[in-house]
Amino acid sequence: MEISRVTTPFGRRSMSFALMASQMKTQDIPEGKITDKWRIYRWLCEAKEAIGVSDRSLAVLNALLTFYPETELSQKHGLVVFPSNAQLALRAHGMADTTLRRHLAALVDCGLIIRRDSPNGKRYARRGKGGSVDEAFGFSLAPLLARTEEFERAAEKVRAEIRGLRLARQRITLHRRDIQKLIEAAQREGCSGHWDVLWKRFRSIVETIPRRAVLADLEPIEAQLAALREELDKLLEFHVNARETSGNESHNGWQQSNSDTEIIIEPESGLGKGLKKNTDERLPIAAPPRTYPLGMVLRACPEIADYAIEGINSWRDLMTTAGHVKAYLGISHAAYESAAEILGQENAAVVIACMLQRAQNIKSAGGYLRALTQKARAGEFTIGPMIMAALKINGTATQRLGID
């Protein structure tokens, strides 16, 4: 039988409200509650830092649990163990008496055990008829039974943090490997770009990784590496598309030079006006004249410069960049080639730049470009109004240059 009321410690040990609260919690244990004592011990070992108990104190608790005769803690079998310090020290691997006392006090302070001191401070059990324990004085394990759910939640939280930390380390390792090898591949393939700057940025992030880190330390580092990896992916995708476009253009040029299809000659007076077919001789397609300066086009459509590897300093740079941007807009190579055939390579690049500027408002860029191409073929479209509209949206002061 166990004393259910709050008890005070023997001798010079003082009583505190924390000890009172710990004892009062044990009075609310549901009747019939049973828990495996070693399962509780494993939870305590996992969540020792959260609970505030040391390894040595847990070793003493382990020794105390060995004096409890049953595997399952329950009020039915009583919850008080009463070994002497000598017996307890032997099961605690020969721990010194002063050390043992210190760790017993630590277990009490953590609320894991409660002292049930006898009038003279000795630990013993008073047995009744039949050998059953009527009253026991020693250390009560009732807090372990009362706080079972708390210990389980604490252990699960620690396990979740460990899993999160392990996954974060794995993701950081993958980012480090991928970024390093992608930069090396770009340099080996001769791709243009500031790869040395990206490498220094990568190393500066890696050097901030601590040897012993918690999840909160690794999360911002992982985010920085992920952003750098995404930036590298976009740059390399740009280079891959550029090479594919270059290969397709050279292949298409060879096909056109050996084709027997009729070539449409553009008149100089306007886009798509007075179209006629030449069946007598082959003549190159006459591209419409450039009317607007490159600087004005870039002021009207500044976003296309973000897609240029080394800036846009000439019409060739604009046409090259537009050939890459069309893939991001979802425009097929055939649609772009058709527009370039009717509008001219430079004017087609200007149209792509204007479409990029309004990409959020265009549902189908490919269909939109085909529609503009058809209008230009019929002489119903010129790039002048499109550039002027873009300049107006960007708030750039311009003057009309006499173009319809």
Same domain? 35 vs 137: yes
Verify that 108 and 27 share a domain, yes or no. Answer: yes
Residues 31 and 125 in one domain: yes
Do 296 and 227 lie in a common domain?
A: no
Look up the pTM and report it: 0.49
Tokens of 54: 């040391």
Of the candidates 77, 112, 146, which is a domain's last residue?
A: 146
59-86 pLDDT per residue, tens: 999 999 999 888 988 888 778 888 888 8
Are 214 and 280 members of one domain?
no
| Same domain as 64, residue 103 | yes
Give the structural domain span for 301: 263-393
Same domain, 141 and 232: no
Instruction: Mark whether 218 and 269 lie in a shared domain.
Output: no
Is 77 part of a structural domain of the chain? yes
Clarify whether residues 229 and 284 are in a common domain.
no
Buried b / exposed e across 273-291, counting CB within 10 Å, b at 16+?
eeeeeeeeeeeeeebbeee
Same domain for 21 and 54: yes
Contacts of 343 (CB under 8 A, 6+ apart): 271, 288, 351, 373, 376, 383
**Would you place residue 383 in the very low, low, confident or very high pLDDT band (cuts 50, 70, 90)?**
confident
Looking up residue 25, the CATH number of its domain turns out to be 1.10.10
Structural domains in the chain (count) = 3
Residue 6 within a domain: no
Average pLDDT, whole number, for the chain?
Answer: 77
Instruction: Return the higher-pLDDT residue of 228 and 269.
Output: 228
State yes or no: pLDDT of 245 exceeds 60.
Answer: no
User: Are 382 and 337 part of one and the same domain?
Assistant: yes
CB 241 within 8 Å of CB 327: yes
CB neighbours (10 Å) of residue 354?
19
In a domain, 1, yes or no: no
Choosing from 93, 116, 146, the residue where a domain stops is 146
